[in-house]
Structure 1
Amino acid sequence: MPIPLYQVDAFTNELFGGNPAAVCPLEEWLPDATLQAIAAENNLSETAFFSPEGDGFRLRWFTPIREVDLCGHATLATAFVLFERQGFRGDTLRFQSRSGLLLAERGADGITLDFPAGAAQPCQAPRGLAEALGIEPVECLKANDYLVVLRDEEAVRSAKPDFRALAEVELRGVAITAQGNDVDFVSRFFAPSYGINEDPVTGAAHCLLAPYWAGVLGKQQLKAEQVSSRGGEVLCAVADDRVYLTGQAVLYLEGAITINR
């Protein structure tokens, strides 16, 4: 049974930049074990699977080792595939997910994702976190992930985490961030317990980062850069309990998976 497979570089307008995601359109859902095996075989930070449902689609995301509740770059990649390769004629996509209804709208600047905003609360840095990051935080906040504020952009860029130690953190991952030199803020994101030592560009983390920096900087429109080795740009807007993330995407690969059953 052939399953279409697309690999898309998200949050970039250049091939080999941004964050690569695999996207698999399905006519019917496969067993979860099969979905997880496909994601492990793809060995990318996320593989997205979608299938028609109601007036939109059901969307799920898998890392190489587990399913996650929300993924930004793989949602952007899925929207790109539907708009550019699957012939979707409208300008707005509706996705049902484990994080509720998500929207993706194409426009002049790229594809805008409508995601739930997260509210990180100040906390005491857990034991061992500073040692795992190799740097002392200026501030630590907690939600689904830890949000660790560092002194400046150079501290974010030069951080060399101990991934084995970071894997012991009880939350999904750790975002490190600081005010940017040429953008509003920069970040990096680590989730070794989910099979992702460093994620190149993390849309879901910006659901925490954008509201935090909107409060610090007093502005609702922000330009962000995730300063991983691949790098990527995210245009952010914050309104009430939603975050709007805009980015571009580039197709890298198109093929098919063959599964015998």
Structure 2
Amino acid sequence: MRPLKIYQVDAFTDKPFSGNPAAICVLDSRGDADWMQMVAQEMNLSETAFLYKEADGYNLRWFTPTVEEELCGHATLASAHILWQEGYINKDQAVKFYTRSGLLTAAKRDGWIELNFPQEQDTEIMAPKNLLQALGIEAKYIGKNRLDYIVEVESEMMVRAIEPNLALLATVSARGVIVTSVSDDKEFDFVSRFFAPRDGILEDPVTGSAHCCLGPYWMQRLGKSELMAYQASKRGGIVKVQVTGDRVLLGGRAVTLFKGDLLV
């Protein structure tokens, strides 16, 4: 097996050591899923993306250290960044990604990378067993989409102060849990955090796919379709969100930390 190129990128940030790190592995052809899962476990990041040329775009798959994911924003943004930066495609060319969540695209817009993702609208529900106990909070609202729970709380201070019982949260049947509130900072419309211990991610630093739910959620409550979001993890990151039809445009920046050869 000849060496494969692998990169590590910080996504949804323009500064190293912030945002959400993802590993990007560029394959010659379709890879073996068990091998990809082992590589993702070795990289030990929230997501490792694997892509190879397919038709007029790239096939793209995402793996946490423990499972293959249905949808991931930051590793998609990081993948587009690498394809442009490393000359796999022309810098002014939009990228098509063929994924488990259908066709996703990436393009450059005013110095940002813009992803075109499906909406993941939630439906209001009663709290499932262990959810609020695990989060240790009172909720203003609880909803569920096909992937995650969304929990609105009273203030940004509450979002930032949450210290969930992650073992208990892992018993809640969902990919993850979004906790959100309006922002205290006038630069941003809302803030959030994202926990996915069931999928091997204790707290995800910046979760693009969560904003496929957060975008339409806050559009309905704030009365605006273009929003600026901050994910208030320890690393932190900024996401531009625009809701258009049944899609959500997610804007972010990215920084490459290193690149190398995968030898096995």
What TM-score do the two structures reach when normalised by structure 1?
0.98
Output the CA distance in 1 between the equivalents of 2:87 and 2:61.
18
Output the CA distance in 1 between the equivalents of 2:184 and 2:85.
34
Deviation at 1:130, TM superposition (A): 1.1
- Secondary structure class of the residue paired with 1:33: helix
User: 1:247 aligns to what?
Assistant: 252
Output the CA distance in 1 between the equivalents of 2:56 and 2:123.
36
Deviation at 1:65, TM superposition (A): 0.5
What aligned pairs does 1:71-86 form with structure 2 within 5 A after superposition? 71-86=72-87
Identity of aligned residues (%): 48
What aligned pairs does 1:31-46 form with structure 2 within 5 A after superposition? 31-46=32-47
Output the CA distance in 1 between the equivalents of 2:261 and 2:53.
19
User: 1:103 aligns to what?
Assistant: 105
Deviation at 1:28, TM superposition (A): 1.2
Q: Judge conservation of contact 2:130–2:171 (CA < 8 Å) in 1.
A: no
| Counterpart selection for 2:179 from 171, 176, 179 | 176
Runs of 4+ with >6 A deviation: none
Gaps of 5+ in 2: none
Output the CA distance in 2 between the equivalents of 1:152 and 1:218.
19
Gaps of 5+ in 1: none
Aligned residues: 259
What aligned pairs does 1:172-211 form with structure 2 within 5 A after superposition? 172-182=175-185, 183-211=188-216
**1:239 corresponds to which letter in structure 2?**
T
| Counterpart selection for 1:232 from 218, 233, 237 | 237
Alpha-carbon deviations, 1:30-74, whole Å to 9, x = none? 211100000000000000000001111100000000101110000
Alpha-carbon deviations, 1:199-245, whole Å to 9, x = none? 00000100001110011000000000000000000000001100000
Alpha-carbon deviations, 1:127-180, whole Å to 9, x = none? 221110011111100112000000010000001100000000101110000000
Q: Judge conservation of contact 2:129–2:172 (CA < 8 Å) in 1.
A: no
Deviation at 1:109, TM superposition (A): 3.3
Q: Judge conservation of contact 2:178–2:192 (CA < 8 Å) in 1.
A: yes
**2:226 corresponds to which letter in structure 1?**
Q
User: 1:58 aligns to what?
Assistant: 59
- Secondary structure class of the residue paired with 2:234: coil
Output the CA distance in 1 between the equivalents of 2:240 and 2:165.
30
**1:255 corresponds to which letter in structure 2?**
G
